[in-house]
Structure 1
Amino acid sequence: MQEPLAPKQGRRTRGRKVTREERMETRGRARALQALYAADLRDLTQVKRIATTVFDDLAIDPAERLFASRLIATVADRGAVLDAALVEVTANWRLERLGAIERSVLRLAAAELAREETPVKVVLQEAVHLAERYGTERSARFVNGVLDAYARRLGRL
């Protein structure tokens, strides 16, 4: 059985001032990632149900939950389309060959880009931060490259 998804210790916001709203969205993305990761390991077709369980277990703030739930709903509703688009830009990599963290971060970012509510650069930066925080520096570089290509293909960069 795999270890639960937990952030690495010692990561900071690199000296920039962060507003309360930004923190809520950042935390919401992390919660959505936790739910996607859990669903990826269990049954991605049940992502909404799994997310509800994860959010209930963690007793997250209502604003974070709402933000995370919207991202989860987008993955649930458009998952096949998002996955197909990601496969097109992951040269020589099938999604099932990627690690669960990388796959979940890519799906999360693709869903947020599909919602078109957050600036593209913010989505990319947050996704890279999540990949680095929950994965590795190598994961972060990979995620950055894939999402850059994905955003360009969408005509958003």
Structure 2
Amino acid sequence: MSRRQAREMALQALFQLDYNQTEAETALESVFQEQPAINEKTRLYTCELVKGTQSNLPVIDDIIAKAAIDWKIDRMTGIDRNISRIAVYEMNFGTEPLPPNVIINEAVELAKSFGTEESSRFVNGILGSLIKKKD
């Protein structure tokens, strides 16, 4: 399984859900059509990330809002917001325990690939502050 590929596809689906009136299944199917050769474990992890993030969205957004001082969730770029949501889901609700530094590193890499020049620092700052608060 490629967790990175699952995170990339989850980001694409969550981005669609942020801006379109559609169901998670529709967004996931759209993303999967672009990646027909993915294995079943990657597909399942993508579904977990999207559906898990969606089902915990109010709590996840509250966690992010408390960490993102002077930034409202709806003012963040869609990419930064959804990368942060995926990472918070994995840290707090994910079915597989992963070290927080791995989750943050993966989120920063997604931000470098899909976001703006500032995205990686922004996402790292939000997620890093969450870790500091837990300690």
Aligned residue among 47, 62, 67 for 1:89 = 67
User: Take 1:77 and 1:134, find their aligned partners in 2: how far apart are those partners?
Assistant: 24
- For the pair 1:53 / 2:30, whether they are aligned, the reply is yes
User: What's the C-alpha RMSD, in Å, of the aligned pairs?
Assistant: 1.7
Q: Deviations over 1:105-146 (max 9, x none)?
A: 011111111226211100000000000100123100000000
Aligned length in residues: 132
> Which structure has the larger Rg over C-alpha atoms?
1
Q: Deviations over 1:24-63 (max 9, x none)?
A: 11111111111111111214x7334422332244323322
Aligned residue among 98, 103, 106 for 2:84 = 106
The answer as to whether partners of 1:48 and 1:76 remain within 8 angstroms in 2 is: no
SS in 2 for 1:142: helix
The answer as to whether partners of 1:89 and 1:149 remain within 8 angstroms in 2 is: yes
From the superposition, tell whether residues 83 and 62 of structure 1 become closer, same or farther in structure 2 (CA, over 3 Å): same
TM-score under structure 2 length normalisation: 0.88
Aligned residue among 34, 37, 58 for 1:80 = 58
The answer as to whether partners of 1:82 and 1:110 remain within 8 angstroms in 2 is: yes
TM-score under structure 1 length normalisation: 0.77
User: Take 2:129 and 2:25, find their aligned partners in 1: how far apart are those partners?
Assistant: 28
User: Take 2:109 and 2:118, find their aligned partners in 1: how far apart are those partners?
Assistant: 12
User: Take 2:84 and 2:40, find their aligned partners in 1: how far apart are those partners?
Assistant: 24
User: Take 2:39 and 2:117, find their aligned partners in 1: how far apart are those partners?
Assistant: 29
Identity %: 31
Consecutive unaligned residues in structure 2, runs of 5 or more: none
